[in-house]
Structure 1
Amino acid sequence: MSSSQGRDPDRLLPTDPAERAIARELYARVAAHPIISPHGHVPVDLLVADEPFRDAAELFVSKDHYVTRLLHASGADLAPLLAPLDEADRRRAWRTLAENWHRFAGTASGYWIDEELTQVLGLDTPLTGESADLLFDAIAEKLAQPQFRPRALFRQFGIEFLATTDDPLDDLAGHDALAASGLGGRVAPTFRPDKYLDPDAVGFGDAVHALLHQTAHETTFGGYLAALESRRAYFIQRGAVSTDHGVEEPLTVDLEPSEAESLFQSVIAGRADAAGRRIFRAHMLFQMARMSVDDGLVMTVHAGVFRNHSTPTLATHGADTGHDIPVPTSFTRGLQPLLERFGLERDFHLVLFTVDETAFSRELAPLAGFYPSVYVGAPWWFLDAPDAMARFRSAVTETAGFYRTSGFIDDTRAFLSIPARHDTARRADAGFLARLVAQGRVTLAAAERIADDLVGAIPREVFKL
């Protein structure tokens, strides 16, 4: 993508002149490297249908919970932001963002939107209440052009690998269609079984019965495990490389088969108390690791988020509408049963993500610095921002180095933000490496190799690409 006027080419790089010069060189090495995106939420149907994006509201407001949550905190009503009914409503949603744009100064989402407007869409007009309608129309004109349809942008962004997030019972027909379409880069499904493993998930019982029915397995714990294994095999046949587990508590428990059978029957019948449901979740996380050892899927755990913190918002607008909040998270004791059994398995890859920054240096780096199976996941969700990325490197590197981390993941539904987010990580890492070079802690040659590997060899190794 060609740079648009008005953006500082040294943005996010260090301000110290010596470090900035080194960072420029390191960033230039990787700026145009292909994007590897092994965890995200872009729906495969977006690329299969290849329909033009509708307008600015769809791109930057209604599908972006980073945006809607801060607008809501600033007094805006969520309903017209999340589900605008017609063009007039969508224009008003965009205008709401424009009129509150000053509130996004210094935020990661504000930076990404600036990048998308200038670097992807080539628009330099500052976003304000006065310019909202002008920009809404200018964006619509851009989106009507063939080069701004999803597949064209996929190629323009230089995406080599993109993972979606998929329900275990999805037939993955969209992935089959895309694989035959000649897209260029690889798009793979990701096995996300949370609602089939957590008795407290909405619709858990119905989900388990649907799983057993579709796979023709009996309502026993053994049948339940076999059903999950068969669906994992189905995903692998269609190119999946990983599973994803969104848990509040990274707890694992190894139960005897008879205990597991009894607990399963109690859970599926709705008789298990809160303690029993917690143990069941923990045992199923353990079982997911066992299955990954058997079938080779990389296991990613995104832990430590209190989902749907606002009950009124959940009732009115549903889940995934911006009211998930991080909680303190501990891994060492909770994962010990899992790591005791599987942690030394050489082909087992366990990638641990957190939004509790205190866990990086206290637990995750030490775990990844010993267990060959464990990798520290990149800054995620509330932490995928420049300063947090620098804190992550400082917290992890002295114990685990660079090569026990996952490589960047963008974790996004906002398709146009993918290159902005990866570019942010490349600039932040270039700045961190430049400081190490300037301080004489690593050589320039070593930093150059690390910069290359952070966007290529490392994510390929971790996700077995």
Structure 2
Amino acid sequence: MADLQRRDPDRLLPADPETRAIARDLYQRVAGRPIISPHGHVDAALLHFDEPFADPAELFVSRDHYVTRLLHAAGEELGSLGVGDAAPGDARAIWRSLAEHWHLFAGTATGYWLEEELSEVLGVEGEFGPKTADRVYDEVRDRLADPGFRPRALFERFGIEFLATTDDPLDDLAHHRAIRASGLPGRVVPTFRPDAYLDPARPDFGSRVERLLATTASPATFAGYLAALEARRAYFAAHGAVSADHGVVEPVTADLEPGEAERLFQAALAGTADPRQRRAFRAHMLLQMARMSVEDGLVMTVHAGVHRNHSRPTLRRFGPDTGHDIPVPTSFTEGLRPLLDRFGLHRDLHLVLFTVDESAFSRELAPLAGFYPAVYVGAPWWFLDAPDSIARFRSAVTETAGFYRTSGFIDDTRAFLSIPARHDTARRADAGFLARLVREGRLSLPRAELISDDLVGAIPRRVFKL
């Protein structure tokens, strides 16, 4: 891995000297611009309580499934890494494990981000590896004890203008109220994430819906269920939310008659719905979410194509979000047609579509966004939020949909210290892509400069209605 004290100022920029010079200028235009992060998973409590980070191992390893999944693949037990509900374990031993396996992260986006965090955020110098693990651990621990490295101080230092968290529909959003009242520069807002209340295949679906209905004093009918969801969306909007996020395996929609929707809802609530009925109910509810977004103005983001919790033994032992979500092939065109027939021409709907199936970018998402006013192509997400993947995304999407039918960069992270690293990565990758277009005579330099500015400012502000 690279020496942390000698970060190349032109890292990730094109190797060709003339193209690199253009890319360097484009990057420097936006390098210090404020960060707009309209989709991510930072816990609002982190910024409310502003407590020091516990230790280097928890911050960099245990709570980051990008890291633990690769360590697990190399034979490390997740329990020994402090994953899930496992005991925290020996923080220094977990850190040493990361150092011993540091070579595994060579060439990966995760390794690059970790280097950026250690060097650019924490100011740690020198090579990281087994021989220096304890020294680096001690330096990181000492930095984290400094008030200047608490969450709120870092939030200001990172230049975050807008940060959206991801929240359960029944969350009282007390942390967000406290943050807003505290005077923290920049906006921190919730995001409505109703997946657990829309999927009858979940074992806790019935109990969750019952709590939803009780919270909103709604009857146990399909109409009452819709009204309850609408009420909670309104509650989130009143607390600053700008979007509702939906994680689905398949982006399939259906427009059902009210009577059929009622029958499916009752079967789902009773736990008697079969797989076909559960699929139809999910499809109808995704369409209903679009209807609600047309009516209340919340941006609708759809993150599709991930088989959640692929390892059943791991799920049973450690719970969800522990590194074993795996992408699957994904198709949008036919599945979204019922939704787009009803709402695709509504300019009040902003439907941002994300995929981890790269083949869908040029085959489906760019053509959809190139026609439907409601549709935008979401930035490379999850396994694709890496330098080369970002370049491939731009190549796949731009020739059909251009730059202005895309979302702007989305960091989608739980790892707070990685936010500036991820946004910087995207800014460098986009600078390189724009520079190539300038060198090839496909863009003028002034146009490339404007696009570079808009990719980090005007585009995400417009798409997410900021």
The question of a shared fold, defined as TM-score above 0.5 by the shorter chain, is answered with: yes
- Say which SS state the counterpart of residue 277 (structure 2) adopts: helix
CA apart distance, 1:5:
3.8
Comparing 418-427 and 128-137, the one that deviates more: 128-137
For residues 259 and 137 of structure 2, what CA distance do their matches in structure 1 show? 61
Indicate conservation of the 8 Å contact 1:66/1:322, yes or no: yes
TM, length-normalised to structure 2: 0.98
- Say which SS state the counterpart of residue 182 (structure 2) adopts: coil
Matched with 2:19 is 19
Matched, 1:399 2:406: no
For residues 225 and 66 of structure 1, what CA distance do their matches in structure 2 show? 36
- The residue type equivalent to 1:9 in the other structure is P
CA apart distance, 1:191:
0.1
Q: 1:294-329, CA deviations, whole angstroms, 9 ceiling, x for partnerless residues?
A: 000000000000001000000110000000000000
Matched, 1:66 2:66: yes
CA apart distance, 1:45:
0.1
Comparing 28-37 and 260-269, the one that deviates more: 260-269
> Aligned ranges for residues 271-282 of structure 1 at < 5 Å?
271-282=272-283
CA apart distance, 1:134:
1.0
For residues 464 and 343 of structure 2, what CA distance do their matches in structure 1 show? 18
Matched with 1:95 is 96
Matched with 2:173 is 172
Comparing 370-379 and 124-133, the one that deviates more: 124-133
> Aligned ranges for residues 234-249 of structure 1 at < 5 Å?
234-249=235-250
- The residue type equivalent to 1:57 in the other structure is A
Matched, 1:203 2:199: no
Matched with 2:448 is 447
For residues 244 and 82 of structure 2, what CA distance do their matches in structure 1 show? 28
CA apart distance, 1:214:
0.7
Matched with 1:328 is 329
Matched, 1:55 2:55: yes
Matched with 1:387 is 388
- Say which SS state the counterpart of residue 180 (structure 1) adopts: helix
Matched, 1:216 2:224: no
CA apart distance, 1:130:
1.4
> Aligned ranges for residues 69-88 of structure 1 at < 5 Å?
69-83=69-83, 85=87
CA apart distance, 1:204:
0.7
CA apart distance, 1:398:
0.0
Indicate conservation of the 8 Å contact 2:61/2:95, yes or no: yes
> Aligned ranges for residues 1-400 of structure 1 at < 5 Å?
5-83=5-83, 85=87, 89-400=90-401
Q: Please, which runs of 5 or more residues in structure 1 have no aligned partner? A: none
For residues 55 and 403 of structure 2, what CA distance do their matches in structure 1 show? 40
CA apart distance, 1:202:
3.4
Query: What is the CA RMSD across the aligned residues, in angstroms?
Result: 0.8
- Say which SS state the counterpart of residue 168 (structure 2) adopts: coil
- The residue type equivalent to 2:265 in the other structure is F
- Say which SS state the counterpart of residue 302 (structure 2) adopts: strand
- Say which SS state the counterpart of residue 131 (structure 2) adopts: coil
For residues 201 and 125 of structure 1, what CA distance do their matches in structure 2 show? 48
CA apart distance, 1:408:
0.3
Indicate conservation of the 8 Å contact 2:5/2:126, yes or no: no
> Aligned ranges for residues 453-464 of structure 1 at < 5 Å?
453-464=454-465
- Say which SS state the counterpart of residue 130 (structure 2) adopts: coil
Indicate conservation of the 8 Å contact 2:12/2:428, yes or no: yes
For residues 159 and 337 of structure 1, what CA distance do their matches in structure 2 show? 38
For residues 116 and 46 of structure 1, what CA distance do their matches in structure 2 show? 18
Q: 1:219-249, CA deviations, whole angstroms, 9 ceiling, x for partnerless residues?
A: 0000000000000000000000000000000
- The residue type equivalent to 1:297 in the other structure is L
- Say which SS state the counterpart of residue 421 (structure 2) adopts: helix
- The residue type equivalent to 1:144 in the other structure is A
- The residue type equivalent to 1:237 in the other structure is A
For residues 201 and 59 of structure 1, what CA distance do their matches in structure 2 show? 30
For residues 113 and 365 of structure 2, what CA distance do their matches in structure 1 show? 28
For residues 449 and 280 of structure 2, what CA distance do their matches in structure 1 show? 46
Report how many aligned residue pairs link the two structures: 461
Indicate conservation of the 8 Å contact 1:68/1:82, yes or no: no
Comparing 407-416 and 119-128, the one that deviates more: 119-128
- The residue type equivalent to 1:110 in the other structure is G
Matched, 1:410 2:416: no
Comparing 137-146 and 157-166, the one that deviates more: 137-146
For residues 380 and 353 of structure 2, what CA distance do their matches in structure 1 show? 10
- The residue type equivalent to 2:395 in the other structure is S
Indicate conservation of the 8 Å contact 1:195/1:202, yes or no: no
CA apart distance, 1:133:
1.0
- Say which SS state the counterpart of residue 375 (structure 1) adopts: strand
TM, length-normalised to structure 1: 0.98
CA apart distance, 1:127:
1.1
- The residue type equivalent to 2:57 in the other structure is A
Comparing 259-268 and 226-235, the one that deviates more: 259-268
For residues 378 and 93 of structure 2, what CA distance do their matches in structure 1 show? 38
Percent of pairs with identical residues: 73
CA apart distance, 1:78:
0.6
CA apart distance, 1:82:
2.9
